[in-house]
Structure 1
């Protein structure tokens, strides 16, 4: 009987963990897994080291410390090595972001982490961050937003609540409107979307577009709408250069 109860408890805990995993923010989840992996690797390295097996403990300890952000070659050692294989010296701007704005929302994509954040710019909740609201409150906003704002909100929900569409099917909150662009994209908007400074060259435009598409392409689980806006921004700026 105690074994049966323990088994039932284990199944329940496993089910709860799976539900938390499905609803977790992918960026936060990846960071948590990385930290947990680093701590586990350090713990195993310490245990093996105490047993005198330093040939195994030292590289395992370095690997665990690397997952936690430490590098024996300094803060940029591994990053520079990785850069040689990712574009042979292509410049990467830390802290770079992209911005997409609609009638109701101002969205920001962090290029380093891929995290998507948003702020409401019109309506009763103007000035508040989307992170302040839970899933039911966010899906309730869909009815009052225009098509472009709905598309941006859905992109944010896909990032923060990966399984939200399954829960929204019952009340029809998901994908009710088709996004429509508010006229022709300006050069200023295109630069903001690609995270570039005005006057950026063709090579910079191409690099920014490729980097963003790796994070946003629908085939990679990204946002169809944001990927389309990134493509439009690239085409807009290249037309300006060609003209």
Structure 2
């Protein structure tokens, strides 16, 4: 009876973890898994040192390295495992995005930067092409620096401001909105009505120009699951994804 209860408990924990992993934004999954892995390793090393078993652990790690290298090729065949490894920061084992599961990256290019979304992990990042902090990545900037360039973009280019706000909503969560309003700003970029070109639409959906209608619908559905406002996305990005689908399908 006790074993049955233990098995049911383990099964429940696994199901809860899989549900949490599926619905939680990728950046949050990455943070939690990295912390758990770090403290798990620390705990094992402390326990091994206290019991005098460090040498066997190092020997086991050395023996496991060839097996891990062989397993890497197999891991790349399973997209779900790739996503888990990337969340732990082990992207090398997972292989490049797009390997095995057909994962792609979407991109939106504005006047000042290019934003990319990794379909496998849901992570957004951008390369600044012009203006303040040129040649820097958004992920390398502090929140204060991001707020400074957001204020600049709001005066210089509405599209850049809207895309940067979408990045902040997804990757920096809600704290930036409070900072924005606290400084007496509007809290949102001004509206603009620039229409997409077909080249931009293909890039947003992460597809090649020869993709068929089914591929367009599949890419649209996958991106909306990642970037819907209810799941950590933004109204602006959702609107652009819908616009790209309509343009390419001729709706």
Q: What's the TM-score, normalizing by structure 1?
A: 0.64
Number of residue pairs aligned between Structure 1 and Structure 2:
184
How many angstroms apart in 1 are the aligned matches of 2:190 and 2:218?
A: 30
**Structure 2 counterpart of 1:203, from 194, 207, 214:** 214
Measure, in 1, the Cα distance between the counterparts of 2:205 and 2:78.
27
Q: Does 1:29 align with 2:41?
A: no
User: In 1, Cα distance between the equivalents of 2:242 and 2:229?
Assistant: 13
User: 2:170 is matched with which residue?
Assistant: 159
CA separation of 1:38/1:179 partners in 2, compared to 1, >3 Å: closer, same or farther? farther
Does the 8 Å CA contact 1:105/1:152 hold for their aligned counterparts?
Answer: no
Measured on the aligned residues, the alpha-carbon RMSD in Å equals: 3.5
Q: Which moved more, 1:125-134 or 1:204-213?
A: 125-134
Normalised by the length of structure 2, the TM-score is: 0.62
Q: Which residue in the other structure is 2:121 paired with?
A: 113
Equivalent residues in 2 for 1:1-243, closer than 5 Å: 25-32=27-34, 35=37, 74-75=74-75, 92-94=101-103, 96-145=104-153, 146-162=157-173, 163-173=175-185, 175-182=187-194, 184-239=195-250
> Could you tell me whether the CA contact under 8 Å between 1:26 and 1:159 is conserved in 2?
no
Q: 1:176 and 1:224 mapped to 2: Cα distance?
A: 11
Segments of 5+ residues of structure 2 without an aligned counterpart are 1-25, 48-69, 82-99
Query: Structure 1 or 2: larger helix share?
Result: 2
